[in-house]
Amino acid sequence: MSTTTIEKPLKNKSKEVLNFSKKQYLKWYKDMLLMRKIEERIGHLYIQQKFGGFCHLYIGQEAVVAGTASACAKEDKHITAYRDHAHPIALGVHPKYMVAELYGKKTGMSKGKGGSMHMFNKEVNLMGGHGIVGAQIPMGAGIAFADQYKGNKGVTYCSFGDGAARQGALHETFNMAMMWKLPVVFIIENNNYAMGTSVKRTTNVEDMSEIGKSYHMPSFVVDGMSVEAVHNAIEEASQRARDGEGPTLLDIRTYRYKGHSMSDPQKYRTKDEVEDFKDKDPVSQVLDTIMSNKLASESDIKKIQQDVKDLVDESIKFAEESPELEPHELYEDVYMQKDYPFIKD
Amino acid sequence: MAEIVRMPKLSDTMTEGVVAEWHKKVGDNIESGELLAEIETDKATMEFESFQEGVLLHIGVQKGDTAPVDSILAILGEKGEDIAKLLEEEKSTNAKVDEKEIEKPDRNKS
C-alpha cells in the first residue's frame, strides 16, 4: 500500500462555485480524516492482538456515512451492518467510546458487550451495528414502520453492502416498505465485493438500482467517492420520506481499500484497481476542494490534522485504561425485565 | 530506539505463521505502509505491511520457518544500533511470563 495522500490535496483544481459552506467542508474533512486515521490504527492494534473478535474496516468508504450524517436530521435513525466503526464518528459520538467497545471495556458504546460489529448509541439514534448479513434491511424498515405508526417524525437510514442486497428478505422488505410508504432510505454501500466475490460474478443485473425499480421504488446510482453527491442524494431521498412519499433506494458506488475483514488476502482484485480508486479518494477530494477554493490556510489544515492525531491517541489511551467488566455484568442487559427468572442465580 | 516487529495475528484463529517471503533484507530502510513480508496463516498467505519505520536490523524468522504469534519477526531501528540488549530483554521477559504461568494454578486455588 502506498501512503495515503490525504495529507495533501490530489491536484490543483480551479476555483469553482460551491454549494456547501466552508464550515461544512471543514467538518467533512475532519470527520473523514478521523475515520481514516483511527481505523488505520485499529488495524494495527488488531494484528497486535490488543483486542479480539472480528474487525471490518471502512477505509475508502468514508464519504458514504459522512454525506448521510450531514444531510440527516437529529430525530432520524440509523442502522447498518458490521462495518460500523465510522457511523458513530459521523453521528458525533466521541471515538473513544467506539475504541473502548472494540477492547470490550465497560466504557464502550455497548458497554463492552458488542465489540466491533455491534456499535449502538441511543442519543444519536444509532440502532446498531449488526452481524447477520442483511438482517438490518427488514429491521430498518421495522424502525421506520414504528415511527410511522406512532406518528413520529424521523427517517431511517438503512445501510447494507452489495452482498447483503442479495438476501431474499430484501424483496419482502421492499414490497412492504413501498406498500406502506415507509419513511426509510435504503443505502447500498456498494464497494463492489461481497467479501471476495465481485458484483458481476453474482448477478446478471449489475446496476443495483434496478432492484428497487421492480417495486416502483425511486432508485438512483450515486458516486460514493464524493461526499457532496452522497449528501445531495440523501437530502432528496429524506425529503421524499418526510413528505410521506415512502422509501428510496440509493446504490452508492464506493470502494474499500482494505480487505473484507482482517484475514482477507485480497487475491480477487489487482493492486492497480485499488490504486485507481485511491486516485479519487473521498478524503483527498474534500481537502482538494478546501485548498483550491482557499477555504482554509495550510496552517488551519495542519491544525485539523494535529487535532485528529490527538483524538486518535486519546481514544486508544482511554480504551486501554478503561476497566474490564465485572463477572456479574454478564447477566445484565440480557432481558428487558429486571429480574428475569432464567438468569437468577 | 530499536523496535520489535512481532509476528502479527492475521486471522481470528491464527496461532502461528510461516514466513513465505521476505520483501526486505537486513540494512533496508522501511517506511510505514511498505510491504515487509508474506506470511502464511492457517487460512491464506497474506501480505504484511509494516506500520513501524526504520532500518531493518534483524530478521527473527527466516523464510520458510514457522513462529508463534507475537514472537520476534524483525527488529527495526537506526542504522548501526545495538540490538543485543533488546534481544536479551525479550528473553528475560519471556522467562518471567513462563514463571507467571506456572504460578497461576496456585493463585486460582486461593
A190: nearest Cα among A224, A158, A147 = A224
Which residue in chain A is spatially nearest to B32 when comparing CA positions?
A3
Domain boundaries, chain A: 22-314
Question: In this structure, which amino acid lies at residue A193?
Answer: Y
* Predicted confidence band of residue B105 (pLDDT cuts 50, 70, 90): very low
**pLDDT at residue number A126:** 98
Question: Tens digits of per-residue pLDDT, A27-39?
Answer: 999 999 999 999 9
Q: What per-residue confidence (pLDDT) applies to B97?
A: 62
Helices (H), A48-168: 62-71, 86-90, 95-102, 136-150
- Which pLDDT value is given to residue A331? 82
The predicted structure's pLDDT at residue A334: 83
Count: domains in chain B: 1
Instruction: Read off the C-alpha cell for A32.
Output: 473523514
Q: List beta partners, residue A185.
A: A157, A248
CB-based contact A3 B6, cutoff 8 Å? no
In angstroms, the CA B59 to CA B56 distance is: 8
Regions in chain A scoring below 50 on pLDDT:
1-5
The range of the structural domain enclosing residue B27 comes to 3-80
C-alpha distances in angstroms, A203 versus A20, A165, A171, A198, A209?
37, 11, 15, 9, 13
Cβ–Cβ of B10/A3 closer than 8 Å?
no
Interface test with A, best of B9, B23, B34 (most A CBs within 10 A): B9
Distance CA A64, CA A83 (A): 12
Q: Is residue B32 part of a domain?
A: yes
Number of Cβ within a 10 Å radius of residue A272: 7
Kindly state whether residue B37 falls inside one of the protein's structural domains. Answer: yes
Return the percentage of chain B with pLDDT > 70, whole number.
86
Question: What ranges make up the beta strands (E) of chain B?
Answer: 3-6, 16-22, 29-30, 35-40, 45-49, 54-59, 66-68, 72-77
The pLDDT value recorded for residue A288 is 96
pLDDT band at B93 (very low <50, low <70, confident <90, very high): confident
> Which of A90, A228, A240 lies closest to A159, judged by CA?
A90
B9 vs A53: CB contact, 8 Å cut-off? no
All residues of chain B having their beta carbon less than 8 Å from the beta carbon of residue A274 are: none
Instruction: Check if B9 contacts A (Cβ < 8 Å).
Output: yes
Is B91 a domain residue? no
CATH of the domain at B55: 2.40.50.100
Q: pLDDT for B15-70, tens place per residue?
A: 999 999 999 999 999 998 899 999 999 889 999 999 889 999 999 999 999 999 99
Kindly state whether B11 is in contact with chain A, defined as any CB-CB distance less than 8 angstroms: yes
Contact A263 B47 (CB under 8 A): no
Query: What's the gap between Cα A252 and its chain centre?
Result: 12
Model ipTM? 0.76
Size of interface A-B (CB pairs under 8 A): 40
pLDDT score for B107: 42
Which residues of chain B neighbour A47 with C-beta distances below 8 Å?
8-10
> Of the candidates A1, A77, A93, A120, which has an alpha carbon nearest to the alpha carbon of residue A38?
A93
pLDDT for the residue numbered A1: 38
pLDDT of residue B106: 45
Q: Do A48 and B10 touch (CB under 8 A)?
A: no
**What is the DSSP pairing of strand A77-79 with strand A156-161?**
parallel
Output the CA torsion B29→B31→B32→B35 (10° steps): -80
CA distance A155 to A50: 37
Quick one: fold of A22-314?
Rossmann fold (3.40.50)
Q: Which of B33, B41, B70 sits opposite A263 (nearest CB)?
A: B41
Q: Do B33 and A49 touch (CB under 8 A)?
A: no
In a domain, B67, yes or no: yes
8-state DSSP, A127:
-
Q: What values do phi and psi take at B94, rounded to 5? A: -60, -40
Contact A165, A208 (CB under 8 A): yes
Residues linked to residue A222 through DSSP beta bridges, in sequence order: A252
**DSSP codes of every residue in A206-251:** --THHHHHTTT--EEEEETT-HHHHHHHHHHHHHHHHTT---EEEE
**Has residue B65 been placed in a domain?**
yes
Q: What is the pLDDT of residue A159?
A: 98
**A338 φ, ψ to 5°?**
-65, -45
In this structure, what C-alpha cell is assigned to residue B38?
508474506
pLDDT (0 to 100) of residue B101: 56
Whether B96 is in a domain gets the answer: no
pLDDT at B109 over 80: no
Q: Which of B8, B46, B51 sits opposite A265 (nearest CB)?
A: B46
